[in-house]
Structure 1
Amino acid sequence: MATGSNEPKSRYQQYLEVVTGPLEDKRRYRQYKARVKKLPEDYRAAVEALERYLMHFGPGDSADAAAMYDDLADLFEQSVADGTPIREVVGEDPVEFAEAFLRNYPGGQWIVRERERLTGAIDRVTGGRP
């Protein structure tokens, strides 16, 4: 069932991806979860808490989200390897850290789309006047 990047997808795979989303993105997410599972318990708990927050406010596009989670895993794996304490990674305010982290992944965020929609609506009704 696996196809190489140069092989065309079967009709079944095309249909399945229409229903479930790209299979490669799902594979990347499973790999991310496996990486997180290997972290020490306290780091794993911190990543899972950040992941929960990022799922609500992060990119809606699965490819962008997969890249974001890969980077999160990279950050915490490196922190473990360097012996960097969690508080040095996230700082005193974990929400501020998460928001700063999210700013690196603006594509596909629902909040960005809604802000643009609101600004556009107000600009239309006011003719762009202040």
Structure 2
Amino acid sequence: MATGSNEPKSRYLQYLEMVTGSLEDKRRYRQYKARIKQLPEDYRTAVEAMERYLMHFGPADGAGAMAMYEDLADLFERSAADGTPIRDIFGEDPVEFVEAFMANYPIGQYRARERNRFTSAISRAAGEDTARDDRTDR
């Protein structure tokens, strides 16, 4: 059923991916989950909590999200191997950590752009001078 990288996809596979999403992304997600399952319990608990947060607030794009999850697995695999304490990974503010983590992925950067656009619009509405006019970002 799988095709080689140089082989064109059959109409069936094209239709299937149109309905279900990328089969490659699904394979990568299963591999990610298998990697997370191998972590020590406390690291796995932390990753699963971060994953839940990212599912709600992170990139929704399949390929972008998978790159982020794979990097997350890399981070926690290295941290577990080095014996890095969980709190040393996240710091005092886990939300700040996860927001900074998400900002490294292009699909997630739209949130920062929209936050800036929103803040500028409110400043303009309040009659405050803004140094940057975000209306040109559209």
TM range (shorter): 0.7 to 0.9
Q: 1:3 — aligned with what?
A: 3
| Aligned positions, number | 125
CA RMSD after TM alignment: 2.3
Deviation at 1:48, TM superposition (A): 0.2
Q: Residues 1-130 of structure 1 correspond to what in structure 2 (within 5 A)?
A: 1-107=1-107, 111-112=111-112, 114-115=114-115, 118=118, 122=121
Tell which deviates more after alignment, 61-70 or 99-108: 99-108
Contact 2:103 2:109 in 1 (8 A): no
Give the 3-state SS of the residue equivalent to 1:107 in structure 2. helix
Structure 2 residue identity aligned to 1:49 = A
- Looking at structure 2, the residues matched to 119 and 8 of structure 1 have their Cα atoms a distance apart, in angstroms, of 46
- Looking at structure 2, the residues matched to 88 and 119 of structure 1 have their Cα atoms a distance apart, in angstroms, of 32
RCO higher in structure (CA 8 A, sep ≥6) = 1
**Unpaired segments ≥5 residues, structure 2:** 131-138
Give the 3-state SS of the residue equivalent to 2:32 in structure 1. helix
**Percentage of identical aligned residues:** 75
- Looking at structure 2, the residues matched to 89 and 9 of structure 1 have their Cα atoms a distance apart, in angstroms, of 42
Deviation at 1:115, TM superposition (A): 4.2
Change (3 A) 1:5 1:99: same
Give the 3-state SS of the residue equivalent to 2:107 in structure 1. coil
Change (3 A) 1:114 1:102: same
Contact 2:102 2:108 in 1 (8 A): no
